[in-house]
Structure 1
Amino acid sequence: MTGKYTAHQLAMELGVSDSTVSRALSGKGRIGDERSREIVKIARERGLIPSSAVQKRTGNIGIVLPVDAWDGAAFFLECMEGIVNSLVLGGYDILLCMAAENDIKPVKRLVESKKADAYIMLRALEEDKQIKYLSSIGKPCVLIGSCDMDVAQIDSNHISSGRDLTMYLLAHGLKNIVYLGGKSTYVVNQARLRGYFEAYERLGMTCNRKMVFQDVITTGQIQYIVEEFRVKQVDCVLCGDDLICSRVLQALMLNGLRVPEDMAVASLNNSSFLDHYTPQITAVEISAKDLGTAAGQQIVKMLKGKENNSRHLLSYNLLLRGSTRGK
């Protein structure tokens, strides 16, 4: 063979695109291990690149966690259990990256260190800079959550579950419902609130938007709202997540309000945080561990070239319990 052998010639010889060859040689592509090894092997035989120029797989998966992940949120603990179990079975180790909302510096440091083959993100914000950055680097990424960017996504249908639980409450005579939601910039909270509104629309009922509170974060906020319940003749409080629900139950107790005799309570997310309350809490059951397991399995498949940036929705269950009965 005369002349300098090029990547384009290699692509022609193997019957693949130039971009496939480029991804295999850089180690940054979403192609299977077997195909990548074949391209690298022939590239070496043809003298296209020296062995040192081929980036090898690290065997690590980068996990991007919010800095507040351990601040009382059972979701992240249970989710990480599923991720770790599935990645260990797939032969991978994990690297944790703790990052504040929309701060891409820690994420960028991890990517530029070239210590990870792929990435899993555990929260989606409206206009999320971290997801936007990771979706642009050419490596497999999985989001546990939903967004409109080009990354694989593992989630549950929070609009549907929010609608179903709200319709159940309304159908059982709980008309004066207060909705307490978390940060309004979180995509999951936006979806749950949308489901709440859709329930009223489907039943042909009018929703009193003055009874909807978003960005409820602190115990003090919840205590203040609960103190107003008697004045507003509230008969049910629907909590956006398990942490809010736990704090609401404590505030009701401090104000001498019984569940469900004086106030029905339900949560749009169940967790171990709610297990010790009596009566048991009506809630949406979404397995955070299953979400983590599915995300880990998805990233392993993507690294093997067996999966693309698809979106998978896991099922949920309504746990209809004593906290909304017999009021």
Structure 2
Amino acid sequence: MADVLSLRQSGFDAVEQTWREFVPSARLRDPGPEGRAELAWQSAALEGISVVAYQLTGNVRSAIEPLSQLMACRVATDSGWVGAPRREYDVALPWASSGAVTEAGWDGPATVRAFVFELDHAQEAARRMSGDDGLMLEVLDPAPRNAAAGAHWERAHSYVLAGLVASSRTGTPEPLLESELRRHALHATLTTFCTSFADALERGGQKRPAPLSVRRAISFMESHAAEPVTIDDIAVAAGMSTRGLQAAFRRAMGTTPTEYLRGLRLAGAHAQLKEGGPLTVAEIARAWGFAHPSRFASHYRARYGRSPSETQRQG
């Protein structure tokens, strides 16, 4: 279950200490005796990833060098700047780093959103996605590929943080949902920025149909749909890269493995709804990996022609 932290603090020392719990290299330059900092913080942490969102008001000068981490961040402010020692970034867009120093400054309020991945975890996941066991994950350019990609990353951040916070409130571990959110955060980051992951994808494309591998993937999904498996786990079980599996699956089945797995999970939720029982529709949706009830209801209605609540009432 995600470890969620919400707090408010004053003073640069307290603010810096909080941020260093997530990025040990984080530091704030002392603004002098008159300087003040006001922090409103929220974060959610799972193994290998922390999702951070905070508002920091003050005369701020900060620096981060995320060693052994992959970090993607957006500093939204009307009165500041973000950049590396020899390059200024567009404050309207997020940026990423796998070790390079990034500095920022502002006078007044700023809203900061970040994914902080442990580099070893992210690299292992990227290797499974790409099928390249030798991939050394690094950020090649801190800027997003374009503004649309940057906007996609911000939506992904909001989605993942909201999902983890809501999951923590249930008081019950939801490993399937957490696994999906962790992967969504990493995939959004790796596809938003220019990284070595993109090169690995180009090298790892599947060139020939693989019906046996597709059958293995289907068998694995049918056996593990209720477990926190991802498309990368399915590709490993099928003996191919994630990208190769996607290409082979589309050729053989006319759909994607993600859509097929979603169908299996919808079927599992459908069966559970028909049984009745004490769980709410939202609880059943989350148990089958759907973070937002409205999206679950939309997928469910498209497949079964009625709402989840109607199925639960009518059987």
- Same-fold status (TM-score > 0.5): no
Q: Flag the structure with more relative contact order, 1 or 2, with Cα contacts below 8 A and sequence separation at least 6.
A: 1
> TM-score under structure 1 normalisation?
0.24
> TM-score under structure 2 normalisation?
0.25
Higher Rg of the two aligned structures: 1
Higher strand share: 2
